[in-house]
């Protein structure tokens, strides 16, 4: 059945009347055009708080927006719309994700299952990690916000579970070929002059290796001439790459995910991690990045003790894509490292 403003209003009123936990929750503002939506947002004092608005197309598609522009869902399924309105309203009460799940369970067990899975059709699952979240990738989330140990964390692979050659990649970026050939490790750089030399030069260094089926390369600025040999870079066969970049002075933290030569971003461009709020899916539901929505929900529910959204986000990247950086290798200085080659 095609969704109209009337059927949507009636369905929400019926839903509220049947569930005491939704009493007092009004239908979000409904607009029939972009101009009407913008005007509605301007009139709504709560718009600055990313209130939910609904844009209804002529074909019955309902677009959920946080504010007038950030689209969070688009569906012609009336039951999905009702669920998403309820999820948004309950999530705004300030409870934990587990408390939101319990409340949705009490309204409708199917809604509770849907929230826990993070999947709109309620059938998606993400296996519990069963690991310490601060061992795989999330261990470096807090320091990375201050650009330590590096500003950029990049990951590359040719296919699932098929990393690329880490040494060749580091050399193409500009790593010192003598140090790469010698198998230099971080502890070797730190041992010179009791670490003072590395302190002065660490901004011109990189660390690299393989973990979780990916090749990782961590660095600050790259030297002039990186990727100069385009043919050699293409020969690595890179099909997927993930870039996490921090600019602490401006509080800008970004994710850039490329697959088969195109950015995976639901047409949003480079993604800012600062958008993620605990308990709220940061990306378009059912979109290209919905796998990360589901992984974040799983991380939130599995690890309520982790309160940092950056640590949860990093753990979700590990759970969904397999990104890892070996904590022990860094702690013991065993990770491969090199300075950029001089001029």
| Position 163 in a domain | yes
Is the domain of 164 the same as that of 283? yes
- pLDDT number for residue 196: 77
* Closest C-alpha among 69, 73, 66, 70 to residue 46: 66
| Position 126 in a domain | no
Contact 104, 87 (CB under 8 A): yes
Is the domain of 140 the same as that of 106? no
Is the domain of 103 the same as that of 179? no
Q: Provide the Cα torsion 191, 196, 202, 208; round to 10°.
A: 10
Is the domain of 44 the same as that of 165? no
Is the domain of 113 the same as that of 137? no
Is the domain of 206 the same as that of 262? yes
- pLDDT number for residue 221: 87
Contact 157, 163 (CB under 8 A): yes
| Position 264 in a domain | yes
Contact 323, 145 (CB under 8 A): no
Is the domain of 137 the same as that of 9? no
- pLDDT number for residue 343: 60
Q: Which residues contact 288 (CB under 8 A, 6 or more apart)?
A: 264, 265, 266
- Per the structure, the complete domain to which residue 327 belongs is given by 133-339
Question: Which of these three, 117, 147, 166, is where a domain ends?
Answer: 117
Question: Which of these three, 117, 150, 185, is where a domain ends?
Answer: 117
Rg (CA), the chain: 23
Task: Indicate the pTM of the whole model.
Answer: 0.91
| Position 248 in a domain | yes
Is the domain of 48 the same as that of 138? no
Total of domains in the chain: 2
- pLDDT number for residue 182: 97
Is the domain of 204 the same as that of 304? yes
Is the domain of 34 the same as that of 168? no
Question: Which of these three, 62, 86, 117, is where a domain ends?
Answer: 117
Q: Which residues of the chain carry a pLDDT beneath 50?
A: 47
- pLDDT number for residue 122: 63
| Position 123 in a domain | no
- pLDDT number for residue 94: 77
- pLDDT number for residue 127: 64
CA 312 to chain CA mean position, Å: 9
**Burial label, 262 (beta-carbon count in 10 A; 0-12, 13-18, 19+):** exposed
| Position 301 in a domain | yes
Is the domain of 209 the same as that of 246? yes
- pLDDT number for residue 225: 72
Is the domain of 168 the same as that of 230? yes
| Position 228 in a domain | yes
């Amino acid at each position: 059945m095609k969704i109209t403003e009337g059927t949507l209003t009636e369905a929400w009123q019926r839903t509220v009347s049947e569930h005491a936990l939704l009493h007092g929750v009004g239908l979000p503002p409904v607009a029939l055009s972009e101009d009407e939506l913008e005007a509605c947002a301007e009139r709504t004092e709560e718009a600055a708080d990313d209130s939910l608005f609904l844009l209804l197309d002529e074909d019955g598609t309902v677009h959920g927006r946080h504010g007038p522009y950030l689209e969070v869902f688009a569906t012609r399924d009336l039951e999905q719309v009702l669920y998403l309105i309820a999820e948004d309203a309950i999530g705004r009460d300030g409870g934990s994700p587990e408390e939101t799940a319990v409340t949705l369970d009490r309204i409708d067990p199917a809604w509770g299952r849907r929230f826990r899975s993070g999947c709109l059709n309620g059938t998606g699952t993400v296996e519990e990690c069963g690991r310490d979240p601060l061992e795989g990738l999330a261990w470096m989330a807090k320091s990375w916000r201050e650009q330590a140990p590096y500003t950029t964390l990049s990951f590359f692979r040719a296919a699932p579970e098929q990393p690329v050659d880490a040494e060749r990649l580091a050399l193409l970026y500009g790593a010192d070929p003598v140090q790469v050939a010698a198998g230099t490790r971080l502890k070797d750089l730190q041992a010179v002059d009791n670490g003072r030399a590395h302190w002065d030069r660490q901004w011109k260094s990189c660390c690299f290796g393989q973990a979780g089926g990916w090749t990782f390369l961590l660095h600050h600025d790259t030297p002039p001439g990186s990727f100069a040999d385009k043919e050699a870079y293409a020969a690595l066969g890179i099909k997927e790459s993930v870039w996490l970049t921090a600019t602490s002075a401006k509080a800008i933290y970004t994710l850039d995910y490329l697959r088969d030569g195109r950015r995976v971003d639901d047409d949003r461009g480079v993604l800012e991690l600062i958008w993620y709020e605990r308990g709220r899916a940061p990306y378009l539901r059912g979109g290209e990045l919905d796998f990360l929505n589901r992984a974040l929900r799983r991380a939130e529910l599995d690890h309520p003790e982790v309160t940092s959204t950056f640590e949860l986000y990093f753990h979700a990247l590990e759970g969904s894509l397999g990104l890892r950086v070996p904590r022990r290798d860094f702690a013991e200085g065993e990770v491969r490292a090199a300075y950029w080659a001089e001029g």
